[in-house]
Amino acid sequence: MKNLGMAKAIELAGSQSELAKLCKKSQSTICDWLNGKKKISPEHVPTLVKAVSGKVQPHELRPDLPTLFPHPAPAQEAQP
């Protein structure tokens, strides 16, 4: 199953190779993370977020770890 957060990060970086350079990882690792062949280690999540200037949030990269990377609270509707 594709990791949509990784797909977004790759798009922002321009390519898998470019994201790999920014994160000091191999292109094959980026590909494995994208395609779900390997899970992104929690220790690598901050590096990925920084590589795309925060335009991808930690919970987008590892949605299966809500305790470690909480999803943002839904916006509350404005009170009249």
More confident residue, 71 or 49: 49
Long-range CB pairs of 10-19, under 8 A, 24+ apart, other chains included: 10/34, 12/52, 12/55, 12/56, 13/51, 13/52, 19/48, 19/51, 19/52
Number of structural domains the chain divides into: 1
| Domain assignment of residue 77, yes or no | no
The model's pTM: 0.87
Whether 13 and 25 have beta carbons less than 8 Å apart is answered as no
* Parent domain of 45: 4-61
31 found inside a domain? yes
Q: What is the CATH number of the domain that holds 17?
A: 1.10.260
Burial zone of 56 (CB within 10 Å; 0-12 exposed, 13-18 middle, 19+ buried): buried
Mean per-residue pLDDT, 13-23? 98
> Tokens at residue 77, please?
């509707």
The predicted-structure confidence for 26-70, as pLDDT tens digits, reads as follows 999 999 999 999 999 999 999 999 999 999 999 999 999 999 999
Residue 73 within a domain: no
Q: Please indicate whether residue 79 or residue 23 has the higher confidence score (pLDDT).
A: 23
